[in-house]
Amino acid sequence: MHFWFLFVHPKRNPPCGGGTPHHRAASRHTYQKEAVVCGRKHSHSVQIIFIIQHIDRFYQRQERISIAISKAMRAALKALSYPDIDIKKSYPLKRQIDAAVGKKISPLYETWDHTVACGDHEIPVRLFASGGGTDDRILLFFHGGGWVTGNIDSYNKVCCHMAQATGHLVVSVDYRLAPEHRFPQGLEDCYAVTREMFLDAPRLFGVDPRRITLIGDSAGGNLAAAVSLMARDRGEFLPARQILVYPATWNDHTERSPFRSVTENGTDYLLTSKRICDYMALYRSSPADLQNPYFAPLLAKEFAGLPETLVVTAQYDPLRDEGEEYAARLAEAGVDVVCHRMPDALHGFLALPPQFAQVGRLYEWINLFLRDREGAE
């Protein structure tokens, strides 16, 4: 087996955050106000440039920023939700934007890269090490992006800050994306890396596999939950813990959805229910996938025997209720579960710069969860 590692050793303590522009609620709000005042109609690509420039200004600020969804903010978010955009056609542009954001990292780190061999292809893996953390605890991270966009480059800042905030090694997996590689190919990549990590962790890292925690946001949260289900069912290994940040767990985000958050938050908060449906249409190989629990973990017939779990949802997220329902199903099956809803938060807030209060609180919850459970081992 071959690993591709990126070790991140900060030469100073840069503020790390990042992620995709559609996650930047405050930035888009500010730019939308400017666009209205100027009275000009800007293209989406021009808008993205202004958004990225505004995000960079946030990195220079040291105070903690808190977002409240005011009436004015709500109006701006509604204007920015773009219900007419067809992600099925625009995902190549979205990938380019993600890559551009990732490339904006300053060259402050020493890096080593490698790959994990898996069948006829190799899976890129990137490892981030905090300057003052321990070397015996790992967060195995699956990025978001609707299974269609995002990569380890676009999540560099997120993983950098994750390593610094938690004191853990963060291993980020660059699984294959749909629609070129539809379900379950990206999931099998995540499973293959997780399997090798758990089976070879003592030899590769000198780490007890029980100190490896799966973590993912959005589609990555879906993948983390599915990997845990798959690991339990296949019996090769079993993660001790998983952290699911606003995960996708259900198969229907139309008006027929049983979850109220889809209708309450599905049109005016950047991530729309239509966008989720489009992502899932690109991800699935056939309509039959919609009934597969590895595609939609809430469809699992049995939830017992799954890892200890932290679920974090966002107040103004279409995926909020299905994430909380997944936590409830786990708890009913006797799994040790903690579930938090982040107030005044949109889907994707993990990717905000660390100065945002929601990001700081998220890592407080993550660290408490890890400290309580890792300390018992």
What is the rounded distance in angstroms from the CA atom of residue 80 to the CA atom of residue 277? 18
Instruction: Say if residues 130 and 164 touch (Cβ distance below 8 Å).
Output: yes
The strand pair at 138-142 and 212-217 is best described as: parallel
Catalytic member of 81, 218, 257, 273: 218
Catalytic member of 22, 23, 29, 347: 347
Annotated catalytic residue 174: no
CA dihedral defined by 286, 259, 186, 164, rounded to 10 degrees?
170
Instruction: Say if residues 125 and 118 touch (Cβ distance below 8 Å).
Output: no
Annotated catalytic residue 113: no
Catalytic member of 161, 317, 321, 340: 317
Q: How far is CA 364 from the centre of its chain?
A: 17
User: Tokens in use for 237?
Assistant: 């290994």
Annotated catalytic residue 218: yes
Enzyme catalytic residues: 218, 317, 347
